[in-house]
Amino acid sequence: MREEVLILADPQGDVWDFAKSIYEKLNSNPERLVKYHLRKVNIKKFNDGEIFSSIEKNVRKKVCFFVHDSSMSPQDWAISLVEINDALVRSSAKEIHNVLPYMKYSRQDRMTDPRTPITSCVLAGMIRDVVNGVITTDLHNPAITGSYSIPFDNLRAYPTIIDYLQDKYPDFLENLVIVAPDVGSAEMAKSYAKRFGADVAIAYKSRERAGVVGKMTLIGDVAGKNVIVVDDMIDTAGTLCKAAETLKEAGALKIWACATHGLFSSNAIERLNASCFEKVIVTDSIPQKSSGNIEVVSLMDLFAETINRISHGRSVSELFR
Q: pLDDT digit string (tens) for 197-213?
A: 999 999 887 655 555 55
* pLDDT category of residue 172 using cuts at 50, 70 and 90: very high
| 205 catalytic residue (yes or no) | yes
User: Mean pLDDT score of the chain, rounded to an integer?
Assistant: 94
Tell me the percentage of the chain whose pLDDT exceeds 90: 88
pLDDT, residue 3, reads 87
pLDDT, residue 191, reads 94
CA nearest neighbour of 120 among 139, 106, 134:
106
CA nearest neighbour of 249 among 288, 219, 218:
218
Q: Residues of CATH 3.40.50.2020 domain(s) within the chain? A: 4-156+300-320, 158-297
* pLDDT category of residue 237 using cuts at 50, 70 and 90: very high
Average pLDDT over residues 178-184: 89
Average pLDDT over residues 53-78: 97
Among residues 104, 205, 225, 242, which one is catalytic? 205
Task: Name, in order, each residue with C-beta under 8 angstroms of 78's C-beta and a sequence gap of 6 or more.
Answer: 104, 105, 123, 126
Rounded to whole angstroms, the Cα distance separating 301 from 160 reads 9
Higher per-residue confidence, 184 vs 83: 83
| CA angle centred on 207, ends 206 and 213, rounded to 5° | 95
Average pLDDT over residues 223-232: 97
199-209, strands of its sheet edge to edge: 212-219, 199-209, 176-180, 226-234, 255-262, 279-283, 294-297
pLDDT, residue 266, reads 87
Rounded to whole angstroms, the Cα distance separating 145 from 253 reads 39
Kindly report, residue by residue over 70-84, the tens digit of the pLDDT. Answer: 999 999 999 999 999
The stretches of 11-94 forming alpha helices (DSSP H) are 16-27, 74-90
Residues in a beta bridge with 7: 38, 65
* pLDDT category of residue 216 using cuts at 50, 70 and 90: confident
Residue 266 CB neighbours (<10 A): 13
* pLDDT category of residue 1 using cuts at 50, 70 and 90: very low
CATH number of 4-156+300-320: 3.40.50.2020
133-137, strands of its sheet edge to edge: 51-55, 35-45, 4-9, 63-67, 95-100, 133-137, 152-155
Architecture, CATH, for domain 158-297: 3-Layer(aba) Sandwich (3.40)
Average pLDDT over residues 132-148: 95
pLDDT, residue 148, reads 95
Rounded to whole angstroms, the Cα distance separating 35 from 219 reads 52
* Side chain identity at residue 223, one-letter code: A
Phi, psi for 179 (deg, rounded to 5): -120, 130
Average pLDDT over residues 262-289: 95
Average pLDDT over residues 156-179: 96
Burial of 187 (0-12, 13-18, 19+ CB in 10 A): exposed
